[in-house]
Chain A
Amino acid sequence: MLRPDINDMLTQTGPGTPMGLLFRRYWQPVLHTDELPEDGCPPVRVKILSERLIAVRTPEGEYGLMDEFCAHRGVSMFFARVESGGIRCPYHGWKYNADGQAIEVPSELNNSEFCKNVKLRSYPLVKVGDLLWAYLGDPEKQPPLPTWEFATVPSGQTFTSKRLQESNWLQALEGGIDSSHVTWLHGGGPTGTGLEADPLFAGAKGNQYNKGDLKPSFEVVENEGGLLIGARRNAEEGHYYWRVTPWVLPNFTMVPPRGDHPVHGHFWVPIDDENCWAWSFDYHPTRDLTEAEVSAMKAGAGVHSKNIPGTYRPEANKDNDYLINREKQKTGELFSGVEGIAIQDSSLQESMGPTVDRTKERLVATDAGIIKARQKLRRVVEALRDHGTEPMGNVPEHQQIRSVAIVLPADQPFVEGIGDGFEAREGVRQTTV
């Protein structure tokens, strides 16, 4: 349960809000490089943290991210012409460079100084891996470029997809750290085939442990960049099977691996207070993804979704009740009746309403991961707002992290037993069962 004012504080990310201030201390993924595929390509609208922006790639290859609307009459620069050195508003010909600086205002006299005083607010937009990342905060506080392993391995080893989620970002994040729902929603409960039916999960020994113990216990451990949430199940005599989910502030989570399948994870990026982007990645630290794996990801398997062509909205969405199949739900073939892990999550998280009223919750002790994450977010937000304390998670050492699946002796702390298995290390395989 959260008080309404705390719920507002954690869910609202627009300019001037406390949580918005926190998000503006981090690089966030905003576009796939395919969305600005070549020099001089058409500009793309971007909405993030309740700011409407336009992303450009000039004929010279320079990326830019700026206020969507022309300073003159408020025309959307989506309609701009891309020209050498920038973009030009088609209404009266005002031209801006990639930094949003006006460089031509045709109506003004030659040699006029007018341009110098016209600048669209702009933010740095950089390519790291297959994604374009933006930083919307104070330039003097700009952190180092993102170093997440999924974005820095060779491109053949990684795949990232993007899905519109029609809910507040915190609902999506809480799903990412809520390990207790996996057994039911994705695992199929006592009777379902669950994860074994998905080509990106099937065949892992860990799946047997999952099925063998439907009531996992949990340990929530503080970590430098956020939290480690360990789900523990019975394994062989005297041993536990651990699945450990890292959360790095404010909105990065990873799914513990299964067998030699690629490792998955997410960024939950606020579009506005009622929508977010679910960025979903799969990568393997030591090998290329196979054609079969990439095909499965593109088809919406694993943590990915099958989207309406030309959009990032899933084909199964709230307007068609996520294509729920009551017959499969009844037989147990699909526990929730909804196909695919991503849509199983989004169907339920969106059904809570755009921003769930957390005063009406009835949490239980196994929700402690969520409770702890909210508390940590609140502390960090208030420390930044009230004292200017820099948050964790925006430096490379906090981003070099992996999820882990492992079997350990029953009396061993999982942090100690896993050791450097949490660290992203070049050429070293993930720790997995």
Chain B
Amino acid sequence: MTTPISVSACARAATTEEAAYRIDYPLAYARSTRVVAFDETAEKSVRSVSDGPWGQAQFYTTSDSGEELVTLKGEGRPMVMEIEHSDSVIMVATNSIVSTAVATVGAACRERSIMTAGLLLLDAGPLGGDALSAIRPYARILLVPADEDDLFQLLKAIRA
């Protein structure tokens, strides 16, 4: 058997008083996140959420091929360049998703070991829809169905 030998031992720290001594310092933004809307309905939600108090998160729509990400100001940029230095990509879609674009972006993320999350918005329709089949292979985590607040909460939680 082991026994704690000082007041700073983990077991002793599990009190309210000791927990208060946890070092207090500001945490940096942890994520360089890209949020990609894959259809018009998803774009509305992404555009709405993009107004939030984000640090390094960037928001896009995509070309049909997925080779290009388009900023919400309408500027097209090569997808691989935009995700190159990100560590998470959030894919947002409804049932009118373009599978090719999802596959292109998803595969690029996989090649670069970039964490992916997928949100199928409320308008996604039946769970067996094409959107689920298209996005599942590329999303490490998938929320079904999701809404705009899910996107907001996810971004907030990961300090995007």
The answer to whether the Cβ of A368 comes within 8 Å of any Cβ in the partner chain is: yes
| B-facing residues in A246-274 (Cβ within 8 Å) | 274
- B116 A1 Cβ-Cβ under 8 A: no
Shortest distance from the beta carbon of B118 to any chain A beta carbon, whole Å:
9
Cα A318 to Cα B153 in complex, Å, equals 33
What is the total of A-B residue contacts with beta carbons within 8 Å?
Answer: 122
Q: Closest B residue to A319 by CB, please name it.
A: B11
Q: How many residues of A contact B (CB 8 A)?
A: 45
The answer to whether the Cβ of B85 comes within 8 Å of any Cβ in the partner chain is: no
The answer to whether the Cβ of A115 comes within 8 Å of any Cβ in the partner chain is: no
Cα A362 to Cα B154 in complex, Å, equals 12
Q: How many residues of B contact A (CB 8 A)?
A: 42
The answer to whether the Cβ of A71 comes within 8 Å of any Cβ in the partner chain is: no
A residues in contact with B88, CB < 8 Å: 364-365
> Given A218-B140, A219-B141, does the pair A321, B4 have CB atoms closer than 8 Å?
yes
- B145 A357 Cβ-Cβ under 8 A: no
Q: Which DSSP category, helix, strand, loop or mixed, fits chain B's interface?
A: mixed
- A372 B22 Cβ-Cβ under 8 A: no
The answer to whether the Cβ of B37 comes within 8 Å of any Cβ in the partner chain is: no
- A411 B142 Cβ-Cβ under 8 A: no
User: Which of A1, A217, A361, A367 interacts with B142 by CB under 8 Å?
Assistant: A217
- A354 B15 Cβ-Cβ under 8 A: yes
- B127 A415 Cβ-Cβ under 8 A: yes
The answer to whether the Cβ of A106 comes within 8 Å of any Cβ in the partner chain is: no
Query: Contact residues of A with B, CB < 8 Å?
Result: 1, 166-167, 215, 217-222, 274, 318-324, 326, 350-355, 357, 360-368, 371-372, 374-375, 410-413, 415-416
Query: Contact residues of B with A, CB < 8 Å?
Result: 1-4, 9-11, 13-16, 18-19, 22, 27, 30, 88, 90, 115-117, 127-128, 132-133, 136-137, 139-145, 149-150, 153-154, 156-159
Top 6 A-B pairs, shortest CB-CB distance: A353-B19, A365-B117, A413-B127, A318-B11, A219-B142, A363-B157
